[in-house]
Structure 1
Amino acid sequence: MNAQHCLKIFNQSIIDYHKYDSVEQAIENPYDEESIDGLLYLKNWIDTVQWHYEDLIREPHIDASEAVKLKRLIDASNQRRTDLVEKIDDWFVVYFKDSVKQEGSKLNTETPAWALDRLSILALKIYHMQEQVDREDTATEHKASCEAKLAILNEQKADLSKSIDELLEDIKNGTKYMKVYRQMKMYNDPSLNPVLYSKKQN
């Protein structure tokens, strides 16, 4: 398990989605859905669909009812994304079950799965920035600007990949340890969101 392996799966998901490029298309996960590869593929697929939801909701002349519908879809997608990241972290807990915590070991600011969440989004940014670089209907200045941004994104990818690999190695060796906190998002919970539970009481 390393960042390069995860990136390969993320990029496969992105390419598979863009064969049809529709937020309504059904996922065809090529991996066992309970395997780590299946979870990573699904994770990026959710991110990719949400990326395009975010594009659609920014249509300047969007109908108000359609905007509300998309906002609901984005909220639901965010919840699925969070739930899946936590499920991937559960996998890592089992993966590192035999690691021995060393004296003086440190807790990282984020878990492996949340770091991979950033890598998944970064893979999407790179894909879509490359699309801008490849466009033939733009000015030279636009292409140059996008090429510069793409170079920075690729540098970020290399740095983040290295950091993820170092984190996984540190956890394996016991010099760092992982602790999973649930996000406990409140806005989708009818018992915690005051707008939802006040309506229910009325």
Structure 2
Amino acid sequence: MRFDPKRIVKAVNKLHHETVARWHQVEPDNAYSEFLGTVCQQHQYNFLLWHEEDIARSPEVTDARIAMVKRAIDGYNQQRNDWIERIDEAFLELLSEASVKPAANARLNTETPGASIDRLSIMSLRIFHLEEQLERTDVDAAHIERVQQRLARCRVQQGDLSQSLAEHLFDLGAGRKILKVYRQMKMYNDATLNPYLYQAGKKQAA
């Protein structure tokens, strides 16, 4: 994919929309390649994370199941953040292929394109599940009205975020801004940094 901001944002939103619908019918897959393949993989972890979070909030789930879900959530969240970084790395490759070099006075954004795409991914999931609520027959009119109001706000936010991402990419393509990949450096899954993990390892070794 060449570095075309409008085309990229449109393709990302289309991918999010289509895969969320499909993955509710079949096992999550990744039929994309190159840049969109990276976006799809990151989106898949958000999809899996979303549904584990739903399970965790069910009052009927056993403590043992909750423990399993919590570990799954930690794993998916780690992968989600790792793949945000990979999206940003993919953007750096696209910029390099387009021979883009940031100007000497290029500025940074507080949020990277990968982080924006992560937010669009989550928004596509929220919109899908709100739309599901409109199909329920066991709720009253007040519930439907609340859902419609939330859905309208989500669609506005999705549009605003898409526009902001496109503007950011235009600035990157023009060299007005610079992209850096910031590592999340999560500590809780690192056996050398989480005290509960490395202390447990010492006890087992003793």
Matching residue's letter, 1:125: R
State the secondary structure of the residue aligned to 1:188: coil
Tell whether 2:18 aligns with 1:12: yes
Q: Is the 8 A contact 1:47 1:120 kept in 2?
A: yes
**Which moved further from structure 2: 180-189 or 40-49?**
40-49
Once the two structures are superposed, the pairs formed by residues 119-134 of structure 1 within 5 Å of their partners are 119-134=120-135
Tell whether 2:82 aligns with 1:83: yes
* Partners of 1:74 and 1:28 in 2: CA distance: 19
Matching residue's letter, 2:67: V
Match of 1:2 among 2, 8, 28: 8
Q: Is the 8 A contact 1:11 1:123 kept in 2?
A: yes
Tell whether 2:38 aligns with 1:39: yes
State the 1:28 CA deviation. 2.6
* Partners of 1:100 and 1:92 in 2: CA distance: 13
* Partners of 1:16 and 1:159 in 2: CA distance: 25
* Partners of 2:105 and 2:158 in 1: CA distance: 30
Provide runs of 4+ in structure 1 moved above 6 Å: none
Question: CA offsets per residue over residues 72-126 of structure 1, 9 Å max, x none?
Answer: 0000001111111111111111111222222432100111111100010011111
TM-score when normalising by structure 1: 0.92
Matched length: 195
Q: Which runs of 5+ in 2 are unaligned?
A: 1-6
Q: Is the 8 A contact 1:2 1:164 kept in 2?
A: no
CA RMSD of aligned residues (A): 1.2
Which residue is equivalent to 1:169?
170
Which residue is equivalent to 2:150?
149
* Partners of 2:148 and 2:135 in 1: CA distance: 9
Q: Which runs of 5+ in 1 are unaligned?
A: none
Which residue is equivalent to 2:66?
67
Once the two structures are superposed, the pairs formed by residues 84-99 of structure 1 within 5 Å of their partners are 84-97=83-96, 98-99=99-100
State the 1:29 CA deviation. 1.5
* Partners of 1:19 and 1:62 in 2: CA distance: 24
Percent identity, please.
Answer: 36
* Partners of 1:184 and 1:103 in 2: CA distance: 28
Matching residue's letter, 1:18: H
State the 1:61 CA deviation. 2.2
TM-score when normalising by structure 2: 0.91
State the 1:45 CA deviation. 1.6
